[in-house]
Structure 1
Amino acid sequence: MVKMTLEDVAREAGVSLATVDRVVNGRIGVHARTIQRVNAAIKQLGFLPDPHASRLARGRDYDFRIILPTGENEFMQALAAEFRATRERQLQERVRLTIQYVDTFDGEALATALEKLPRGIDGVAVVALDHPAVTEAINTLADSGVVVLTLVSDVPNSRRAHYVGIDNFAAGRTAASLIGRFVGTRKGKVGMIAGSLALRDHVERQFGFEQVLAREYPNLEVLPVREARDENARVEAVCRSLIEDHPDTVAIYNAGGGQAGVIAALETSGRTSDMIFVAHELTSSTRRHLVRGTIDAIINQDVGHMARSAARILTALKEGRPIVSGQEHIRIDIFLRDNMP
């Protein structure tokens, strides 16, 4: 197949090359009827603009900001590492990714960070808190022409352009099904730990989790969710308290980070062998404990896919190109010790 050029479009439309260039790049000064003729020629020839040439014509790189949470969450650290790797590859495409860290559990702090982003940036991808001030900050950016993506945790009532992450309702339902099958016919209580119920991904996981257990596993009672900000020490304290308060607990689902805290609490209480534990995200430490049997199953989302997808979507939306939904769909992976990659 021969690749069509701007010259081919100009010849087909009967206009100058400069006119075609103005139409393709959305510049003013072209009559409406001429724009129609050029667009008809583009459609007739199947012309696809060269994004790299378009970026060269802009005279500067795309400036995208990536806002990730502070703290010890291993998944977020792995996501940051993948964004750094993606950043190196994107430089040759004239795309710059700048990473900054904010306490995303603090709605006001996150909103302030979004408000203080420099004018003229092209887009931002943010691990977002579902908070009124954050929603307003996202809307202000979107209204100013900045492409805004939410990562991992969504704010669907905002004017963000796209969400990059797994279906968290489905993740919670998956965790419930795994625990129900692992526990079998035993009766007992199930504890759930979240980072924060202000994070929409954790709320969605809670909803899906409780929905399936209540409907399909009447032998299991879900305890009220406990929050621990994805911090190992807090998670350990919450988990130890949960086990002490409810000795008949048979399973724990940690919907956020801080898996090391759950493991420490299980080891201290001597419950590593009889407590079913379903966690999120395959990291170096969770991998080790999955092999040892302390963790029974891990629900995972591919951090490399997420970082690359975010960069592709930011660029596509800025250039007005369609998003390839099949390519950008972030799948839910389930890992047992028998199928780890």
Structure 2
Amino acid sequence: MRPTVQDVARQAGVSLATVDRVLNRRPGVRETTIAKVEAAIAKIGYIRDVSAANLAKRQAYRFAFVIPEGANSFMRGLEAEIETVKQHPANDRTEISIYKVPAFNGAALAAALDGIDPEAYSGVAVVATESVAVRDALARLRRHHVPVVTLVSDFPTFQCDAYVGIDNVAAGRTAARLMGKFLGGRPGKIALVAGSMLVRDHVERRMGFEQVIRSDYPHLHCLPVIEAKDDSGLVREHLSGCLKAHDDVVGIYNMGAGNRGLIEALSGGSPQEHVVIAHELTEHTRRALTGGIVDAIIHQDAGHEVRSALRILKARIDKTPLLAGQETIRIEIYLNENLS
């Protein structure tokens, strides 16, 4: 049977009211008494039920998720997962607001963050674009003791409470290993497509990819990155132009979104002409995988990321520990053979 506050009070030789003051960090308790209560908690292994305590105090959590707007299928999937979590009974007394801003627009993101009232929100989760203005807006929230986690893309120059997403350097290295293995010694060039080099996830994926290609596949050469703003039309236009200008392209790595444009640019060609690695399993990439246009998809679980962000924010607020390993977002690899 789990120890109770009554057991703590009995072990420490104090009243229930005193235990309550210590647990809730209220003033008016002597240091020696606090030490006795904490020693009793440690000795009998008392674990506080924070959810029950919050319910008794009628405490509600209010969180803001700030994500990019637009047609990016992964981001719309992320938004759908946030909406699902909002309706889950386990999140009773948890209010979630979604703010959408133009993708890759640091000024717009900073303005949205500056519009968040730190007195009204318990925590913030954000898909960050790196800029000084964004860093300053996040720092303002932290100065008001609002915990902040970054989603999908990290922001190393800002000391957030946690980053929730895959290891993007490892994802890029994984893509390069798949590319090298699939090409099997075939020499040529690789076309690289990204949304923007202003977001850390795309920067890190490129870095990891090029590290492996340069060290282990010297017969392959990476072309300059096509920055297409995760826009399908721009991906189609710029990738088509790249393939016309370089008839020795043997591989394509799309480290961002806009995969519909990639599929359109490659449709009609020979499935064996290029090895194609892309990110995120969506309706469009699934069809491209089964159709032989794309060879492998590197995926991350958006639902896991949303739930993890909420757990981390609540733990920061309640000053409770997290389960080791529960918040690790794993890199998933999909081939045509393991689609379900």
TM range (shorter): over 0.9
Q: Distance in 2 between matches of 1:234 and 1:104?
A: 14
| Cα deviation digits, residues 190-227 of structure 1 (max 9, x gap) | 01011010000000000000010011111111001110
Residues 104 and 128, structure 1, Cα contact 8 Å, conserved in 2: no
SS in 1 for 2:238: helix
Q: Distance in 2 between matches of 1:9 and 1:236?
A: 66
Output the amino acid matched with 2:236: E
Aligned to 2:175: 175
| Cα deviation digits, residues 252-285 of structure 1 (max 9, x gap) | 00000011111111126x2544111100001111
Alignment of 1:275-294 (within 5 A): 275-294=274-293
Shift of the alpha carbon at 1:92?
Answer: 4.4
Residues 118 and 146, structure 2, Cα contact 8 Å, conserved in 1: no
Output the amino acid matched with 1:29: G
Aligned to 1:131: 131
Q: Which runs of 4+ in 1 moved over 4 A?
A: none
Residues 52 and 93, structure 1, Cα contact 8 Å, conserved in 2: no
Aligned to 1:152: 152
Output the amino acid matched with 1:340: L
Aligned to 1:234: 234
Q: Distance in 1 between matches of 2:295 and 2:175?
A: 11
SS in 1 for 2:278: strand
Q: Distance in 2 between matches of 1:67 and 1:254?
A: 24
Residues 317 and 323, structure 1, Cα contact 8 Å, conserved in 2: no
SS in 1 for 2:156: coil
Aligned to 2:143: 143
Aligned to 1:217: 217
Q: Distance in 2 between matches of 1:79 and 1:292?
A: 25
SS in 2 for 1:318: helix
Aligned to 1:258: 258
TM-score (norm 1): 0.96
Output the amino acid matched with 1:314: L
Aligned to 2:69: 70
Alignment of 1:1-341 (within 5 A): 2-89=1-88, 92-120=91-119, 121-267=121-267, 270-341=269-340
Residues 164 and 309, structure 1, Cα contact 8 Å, conserved in 2: yes
Residues 194 and 228, structure 1, Cα contact 8 Å, conserved in 2: yes
Shift of the alpha carbon at 1:119?
Answer: 2.9
Shift of the alpha carbon at 1:94?
Answer: 2.1
Residues 72 and 257, structure 2, Cα contact 8 Å, conserved in 1: yes
Shift of the alpha carbon at 1:28?
Answer: 1.9
Residues 235 and 262, structure 1, Cα contact 8 Å, conserved in 2: yes
| Cα deviation digits, residues 2-32 of structure 1 (max 9, x gap) | 1111111111111111111111112222111
- C-alpha change, 1:204 and 1:320, in structure 2 (3 Å) is same
Residues 118 and 144, structure 2, Cα contact 8 Å, conserved in 1: no
SS in 2 for 1:236: helix
Residues 252 and 278, structure 1, Cα contact 8 Å, conserved in 2: yes
Shift of the alpha carbon at 1:124?
Answer: 0.5
Shift of the alpha carbon at 1:90?
Answer: 5.5
Shift of the alpha carbon at 1:83?
Answer: 1.2
Q: Distance in 2 between matches of 1:92 and 1:81?
A: 16
Residue correspondences, number = 339
Output the amino acid matched with 1:264: E
Residues 70 and 103, structure 2, Cα contact 8 Å, conserved in 1: no
After superposition, the CA RMSD in angstroms is 1.3
Q: Distance in 2 between matches of 1:138 and 1:27?
A: 29
Q: Distance in 2 between matches of 1:96 and 1:55?
A: 14
Q: Distance in 2 between matches of 1:259 and 1:92?
A: 34
Structure 2, gaps ≥5 residues long: none
Output the amino acid matched with 1:231: D
TM-score (norm 2): 0.97
SS in 2 for 1:328: coil
Q: Distance in 1 between matches of 2:134 and 2:112?
A: 9
Q: Distance in 2 between matches of 1:24 and 1:285?
A: 52
- C-alpha change, 1:213 and 1:165, in structure 2 (3 Å) is same
Shift of the alpha carbon at 1:135?
Answer: 1.2
Q: Distance in 2 between matches of 1:32 and 1:238?
A: 67
Q: Distance in 2 between matches of 1:94 and 1:209?
A: 43
Q: Give the fraction of aligned pairs with identical amino acids, expressed as a percent.
A: 47
Shift of the alpha carbon at 1:299?
Answer: 0.3
Q: Distance in 1 between matches of 2:56 and 2:123?
A: 19
Residues 123 and 313, structure 2, Cα contact 8 Å, conserved in 1: yes
